[in-house]
Structure 1
């Protein structure tokens, strides 16, 4: 399913816009919704190759900028907190690998172990035992609930999710079907 990096068509993107405020480096994350799930999967499969891709002559990005490209799923705040704990456990050597794929959180305890889907900190605790990384953060919103400062983005970026950009805020502003 690996497609060459030079066969991307702007028509493969339904909607894309920046998120949040500029940080110190002047960059902001971009959220993208593809017209077809297959195109999303092609990009996701090629995400590591994008960092080392040869840039065409006159490319607007530099090789250094390309090395810093990071492509990831858009996760709910609840799932972000679970992934944060899983990454901490990986750094401590209690997990071999941790990643997300189409919104599902996955871990592998050892290189030979089967992939496990995790949905909560309790699922991680069953795999690795007690650890301070598994203490829930007090400000973590419940799954499916919006906080006072941030709407629930639980479905953002998924196929057919009804994702709608805010007109005048960097989105396309076009109406969704």
Structure 2
């Protein structure tokens, strides 16, 4: 997928450009991602982020390779609890979840439904299957990892080094509750 691609929310008001390939493409089944996806799906007009087996697909991109082209005024953050270190950011124009960001992270987890079907990145791995009561119901099309792998953390470290150990900050002023 090298190069640049424009992606965006369901109504098209919030647009982003992503440069080059993602760090990794995952399907997360951790308790936090599943709970947040379930709550965000209750917003008016929102669609579920979850796959039929309860995973949240996303592409991890360096923050310096994501450019917001339009619609930043419609972005609002959602946290599972007020003091949660992880936030999900939603385009309130159509209640489309856009990304997940961990506190102090140098990357964003961009939700895969932002891409058109034909150009949507394919997941490399399913993570955090140890959080599921019965992970045997998951498909076996990609590796199902109990937690994050050493290679996952190595990729994140390598990108942080390549970014000069920077943590670009994204200011999102509005907050929503779901």
Higher helix share: 1
- Structure with greater Cα Rg: 1
Task: Please say whether Structure 1 and Structure 2 have the same fold, judged by a TM-score greater than 0.5.
Answer: no
Question: Normalization by structure 1: what TM-score?
Answer: 0.27
Higher strand share: 2
Structure with more contact order per residue of length (Cα contacts < 8 Å, sep ≥ 6) = 2
